[in-house]
Amino acid sequence: MSVEASRRQFVKTIGIGGIAGLSGCLSAVTDGNGSGGGGKDFEYWEYFHSQSEVAKQLMESSVDEFGSNHDVPMKMNWASWDDINGGKWKNNIKNGNRPVIYDSTNSLNGQFIDPGWVKPVDEYKDRLDSNALKNVEWAFEMAESCYRGFDAKLYEVPIGLEVGAPFIARADHFEKAGLSIEDDFPPKDYQDLLRVAKRLQKNGPGDYGFQIYGAQGDVTDEALVTWAASDGGYDGMYLNKDWSDVNYDTDAWKKATRQYVDIYQKHGLSSDKAPTASNEAVAQSLISGSVSMYQGSTKDFGLFRSRAKDMLKDGKIVFAPSWKGKAGNRGDFFTQCVALMRKPDGVKKDVWKKHEDAAIDWINKLLSKDFQKEVPRSLATLPVRKDVWDGLKNDEALGNSNFMSTLETTVDGMENGWASHPKMNAIQYNIAGPLFQEAVRGKISPEEACDRSAKQIRNQIEL
């Protein structure tokens, strides 16, 4: 679902000033005492910005505004996906350097929760804005499904929900292919997807009717898991309910993977770049017009706002929810979240409390109406405050692209969140990704990719 891995190069591409290796700036924050947050600055590891140019602008401006209104200086680490998934964050925390607060994607963060570094939300929930809490309680309850394997119900505060995975299409291609964007989009099921995609490819202006992608960081986490989860419920998630086993070799995953690979290998509806294509590359192909439709990430809205804003406003690029499967839902979700860390040894209680107070203020800012209104525009996810939803439909880009209505429809009845298992990066990407990519290449069957992924995970990871 997420375009986490395909965004890995984004930070390098946009050249954000001040991004450095975490260990390179922590000594200044800690006054050299080896414990994050121990110095005069309020240490914040920030990830949301890396999703798109508009996300970067929102986070930088929000940090600047917050800093000007508080007397606790914010020492920022503008981090990338690789910093989290590649072990840099974990290694720095293990070495005694930690922030007071971080933001991230929940499925990447079990590695910080499992050792006891993250403070459960119940321990500070009463310090959050009461009006905000009334309007976000539904999201808190949904997010609890992400932490089933831990003792506490909730460890991170959800700011936005990425619900997966929406269909994204060129409305003008539908018209030129003799299709109706109102009646033929989104596809009603897999067979209807094939019908629409074949018509688009034959009669439309694009080269490919429905592009899939096989990049190791994207192949398992968007259309595939959406189809599997909507069809199989928890059998279609990466792990079962109590995290005691992996689900890749269930019927739900095998069916979804076979259907996904067939789009390229059997029906020829995707380009030869499919095995290595990333979600972001496919989004760019939609903009250029070579691709007419795909199923991707809600975060692609941020990319479109940066690169094709007029096409959103004009309704040329449109979103729609995935079909509802046998399990009675339209897929799965994960959270954009923020978390407080526990005080490390060697830091004075009064110093940490001052920084934690500032962190609570920051969380309340992220849950405020003003910030929540910017969540779909810039962070490209569903804001957790329901009381801002209606007003956002008047936004030209959000309304004409059907982005907000797609998110609202998709989340209705959804209950399965990505697990925050400590080894989720291996389960979701590092082990399964290469095998599913080989299936897209046609080197192994979809069923073999599912079976081998499950077997390797069971052999290599303690569940």
pTM: 0.90
- Distance separating alpha carbons of residues 397 and 222, to the nearest angstrom: 23
**pLDDT recorded at residue 70:** 81
**pLDDT recorded at residue 39:** 53
Q: Which residues on adjacent β-strands are paired with residue 45?
A: 77, 102
Give the burial string for 69-106 (b: 16+ CB within 10 Å, else e).
Answer: eeebebbbbbbbbbbbbeebbbebbeebbbbbbbbbbb
pLDDT tens string 122-179: 999 999 999 999 999 999 999 999 999 999 999 999 999 999 899 999 999 999 999 9
Res 98 pLDDT > 50: yes
21 or 112: which leads in pLDDT: 112
pLDDT tens string 371-400: 999 999 999 999 999 999 999 988 999 999
Res 10 pLDDT > 50: no
Of residues 450, 454, 233, the one with CA closest to residue 326: 233
- Distance separating alpha carbons of residues 225 and 210, to the nearest angstrom: 17
- Band (pLDDT 50/70/90 cuts) for residue 217 is confident
Q: Which helix (H) or strand (E) holds 197?
A: helix 190-203
**206, 292 contact by CB (below 8 A):** yes
**pLDDT recorded at residue 431:** 96
pLDDT tens string 183-195: 999 999 999 999 9
Res 440 pLDDT > 60: yes
